[in-house]
Amino acid sequence: MEYFSIEPETYLFDGEEFGLPGQCVFGVFAHQDEALSDRYILGSSFLQNYLTIYDYDNERVGLAVHVLSQAAVMSTFSQFQIALIALGVVVVFPLIVLGLYLIYKYRRNKRINQVDEDGQATQSSQNLLVSGANRAD
């Protein structure tokens, strides 16, 4: 889902401009018709930030961020996308941790086996030296 972002400076006005000194005026208005009470009039406070394209033939309106505007078109994730991300984190993260642990154990065992082999070789060569010294006596 996408939504439009506009800065407060574009829709909050000083009340003096409207004959309401000392008050703040919100630049978005609810529709006055009861049948359309869930609709809002955005007007110039919104439209000044976007290039508006009216396609009468296909009965649609297109909006693009105006090149001089600080407004943006933001995207949100659907519930399905959030669930996939959560599942990925729950499944993939433990697998990565397990993989790192197994690599650690493998390398540690390899080092221990290498030390044992070196230790045995050193010990057996010491035995040969000692036995050779005893024969010389």
Poorest-confidence range of 7-11, 116-120, 131-135? 131-135
pLDDT in tens, 45-82: 777 777 888 899 999 888 887 777 777 666 667 788 88
Same domain, yes or no, for 9 and 69? yes
* b/e burial code for range 32-60 (CB count within 10 A of at least 16 → b): eeeeeeeeeeeeebbebbbeeeeeeeeee
- Can you give the residue range of the structural domain that contains 104? 78-120
The count of structural domains within the chain is 2
Same domain, yes or no, for 59 and 115? no
Q: How far apart, in whole angstroms, are the C-alpha atoms of residue 42 and residue 123? A: 87
CB 4 within 8 A of CB 42: no
Same domain, yes or no, for 70 and 87? no
pLDDT-above-90 percentage for the chain = 9
Say which DSSP state 127 is in: H
Q: In the structure encoding, which two tokens stand for residue 72, read together?
A: 């943006």
pLDDT in tens, 69-120: 777 666 667 788 888 888 888 888 889 999 999 999 998 888 877 766 655 5
pLDDT on residue 119 = 57
Same domain, yes or no, for 53 and 97? no
102: part of which helix (H) or strand (E)? helix 79-136
**Quick check: helix, strand or coil at residue 125?**
helix
- Residue 127: inside a domain, yes or no? no
- Residue 125: inside a domain, yes or no? no
